[in-house]
Structure 1
Amino acid sequence: MAIPLQVYNLGNQSKWFLFSTEVIGMLTLIIFENELTIFIVIRLLIETFAAGYFYLQCSDSAGEPIIVQEDKELSELSFSSFRGDNDQFESQIPDRNECQECKIIQPYRTKHCIKCQKCIPKYDHHCFWIGGCVGELNHRMYWLFLFFQCSLCFDGLFQFNKQFVYYSTYDEEFGNDQFQYQYFFILLIAATSFGFGIFTGVLLLYHTMLILTGKTTWEHTKRDKISYLNVYPKYYHPYNYGIIENIKLTFFHNSIQSDWIPPSKNQIKDQCNIFDNKYYSCC
């Protein structure tokens, strides 16, 4: 199913704005004569191209839900379908939801995005900056985009600061103000870099935490409203397989969607990490 035109156009406008800002910043650093070396220019260009590449890659479709044929068999294993004694009830797995828009029984971790008008596997969130959703197949690209974008912003900010100091020293020594417009322009671009750097930096840290704990933004912020998570203790996340396995599932899935079958209640083991455990929760 194609993404609606208005969502696609908003994503394109965001791309033009982001790329234009980065190109202007790069030209500003390169055109002004200063102590900027070729090695710094190459590094900034690599960061710019890497951020742009992964930005375009994470704009791709987040995938289509896997249509499971064994709907009847799975429904017979659900919590709500069994009304026996407590021990038997505890051993079952949660219900799956039915999407009224797409007319499918959603796989676990799938959510219908109203803006994209389709179900997104391992739904994380809808991002207007990329003109679509972040899901299982493009979460790694989204993280890599944040990483290189954050690196570019703070690296560029550092170089802009060197520029500003350079011209300030020049004026102080020679008493001329011919570079006052450059002062203003450098300060404006530096402030933009700082703003983007803080924004992407916070997102980078947040998504790193999500990846390490096997969660998505949706599952972390809306846990109380997600039916397949409500059946488990609050500290327990059924898709947290340990840091190494969580990283593998995010970055090395070979563009193949996983079948996220949650464990039954009698398979629950204690989870201990610095974010959520049976003793405390910091989020």
Structure 2
Amino acid sequence: MLTLTIFENNLTLLIGIRLLIETFAAGYFYLQCNDSAGEPIQELQQDYEMADMSFSSSKGDNGQFESQTPDRNECQECKIVQSYRTKHCSKCQKCIPKYDHHCFWIGGCVGELNHRMYWLFLFFQCSLCFDGLIQFQNQFVFYSIYDEEYGYDQYKYQYFIILIMAATSFAFGLFTGTLLIYHTILILTGKTTWEQTKRDKISYLIFYPKYYHPYNYGLIENIKQTFFHKDILSHWIPPQKDQIKEQCNIFDNKYYSCC
């Protein structure tokens, strides 16, 4: 309501409606982020044993057999064999499928089922901040012209409020905008924050060459898996080591990495 009280011109209603829509959209997707990030798929013991048997092997240089697919980890807290891309969150006290990170803003983890909601929350919050920043600038110019025409300065209070809110919008917009760009790159390349920042410590990633990501299925498929999963968890099957081809894209390759 404070925003509407300082917009004292003919565009007040239009500006207010647009900002309110962006506010409600950001709030809605923020609440949706609080939904479960997904429960790990409970695999039967015989499935685990068959999976172990199905791991291909080939002879190395010394004549010994080496595994062609990475082993899965067992969570000592949840007492389950974790599926690939699953990590136990000590704050949530449970395993999170396709774990991205624990976000204190939403009070929980970002995982496979709510990553799209988190991205949409960032998108609308960023839109709200920068749209508000533009409107605050327009209002500041409007009041300045009005004062110049009538020869007196009666809008000092409005100037102060506009400057404070504009600075706040810019700060939050810069923060959310950076996160939005970062998560967009992660989605386009089929990665998560955890996999990007802890690659050298994740067993199913260090198994492969440094610049190869086993779950990068291409731009379109990566987007589909993030936004159109129909709330169904994926079975992340790793490729065999002797059948992989080195990936090269504009974001991450053997020459440079943007993240």
CA–CA separation in structure 2 for the residues paired with 1:195 and 1:262:
41
CA–CA separation in structure 2 for the residues paired with 1:224 and 1:241:
21
Matched-pair contact (CA < 8 Å) for 1:123–1:134: yes
Matched-pair contact (CA < 8 Å) for 1:124–1:135: yes
Q: 1:6 — aligned with what?
A: none
- Within a 5 Å distance, the mapping from 1:167-246 to structure 2 comes to 167-246=143-222
CA–CA separation in structure 2 for the residues paired with 1:280 and 1:102:
38
CA–CA separation in structure 1 for the residues paired with 2:59 and 2:238:
21
* One-letter code aligned to 1:86: G
Aligned counterpart for 1:50 among listed residues 2, 14, 25: 25
Residues 199 and 89 (structure 1 numbering): CA distance in 2 closer, same or farther, change over 3 Å?
A: farther
Q: 1:16 — aligned with what?
A: none
- Identity %, equivalent residues: 76
Q: Indicate the SS of the match to 2:248.
A: coil
Q: 2:49 — aligned with what?
A: 72
CA–CA separation in structure 1 for the residues paired with 2:13 and 2:249:
44
Q: 1:166 Cα shift?
A: 1.6
1:28 and 2:2 are equivalent in the alignment: yes
CA–CA separation in structure 2 for the residues paired with 1:244 and 1:212:
8
CA–CA separation in structure 2 for the residues paired with 1:244 and 1:116:
32
Q: How many pairs does the alignment contain?
A: 254
1:102 and 2:75 are equivalent in the alignment: no
* One-letter code aligned to 1:50: A
Cα distance per residue 1:183-235 (max 9 Å; x no partner) = 11111111111111101100110000000000000000100010110011111
Q: CA RMSD in A?
A: 1.9
* One-letter code aligned to 1:45: L
CA–CA separation in structure 2 for the residues paired with 1:163 and 1:90:
68
Matched-pair contact (CA < 8 Å) for 2:55–2:67: no
Q: Indicate the SS of the match to 1:119.
A: strand
Q: 1:150 — aligned with what?
A: 126
Q: 1:63 — aligned with what?
A: 38
Q: Indicate the SS of the match to 1:229.
A: helix
- Within a 5 Å distance, the mapping from 1:250-269 to structure 2 comes to 250-269=226-245
Q: 1:89 Cα shift?
A: 4.4
Q: 1:35 Cα shift?
A: 4.0
Residues 270 and 139 (structure 1 numbering): CA distance in 2 closer, same or farther, change over 3 Å?
A: same
Residues 136 and 210 (structure 1 numbering): CA distance in 2 closer, same or farther, change over 3 Å?
A: same
Q: Indicate the SS of the match to 1:256.
A: coil
* One-letter code aligned to 1:198: L
Cα distance per residue 1:101-153 (max 9 Å; x no partner) = 11111110000111111110000000011110000000001111111111111
Q: Indicate the SS of the match to 2:95.
A: strand
* Structure 2 residue runs without a partner (length 5+): none
Q: 1:172 Cα shift?
A: 3.1
Matched-pair contact (CA < 8 Å) for 1:90–1:264: no
TM-score (norm 1): 0.84
Q: 2:97 — aligned with what?
A: 121
Residues 260 and 129 (structure 1 numbering): CA distance in 2 closer, same or farther, change over 3 Å?
A: same
CA–CA separation in structure 1 for the residues paired with 2:93 and 2:11:
48
* One-letter code aligned to 1:195: A
* One-letter code aligned to 1:134: V
Matched-pair contact (CA < 8 Å) for 1:235–1:271: yes
CA–CA separation in structure 2 for the residues paired with 1:281 and 1:179:
50
Aligned counterpart for 2:59 among listed residues 67, 75, 85: 85
Q: Indicate the SS of the match to 2:109.
A: strand
* One-letter code aligned to 1:61: S
TM-score (norm 2): 0.92
Q: Indicate the SS of the match to 2:230.
A: coil
Matched-pair contact (CA < 8 Å) for 1:44–1:155: yes
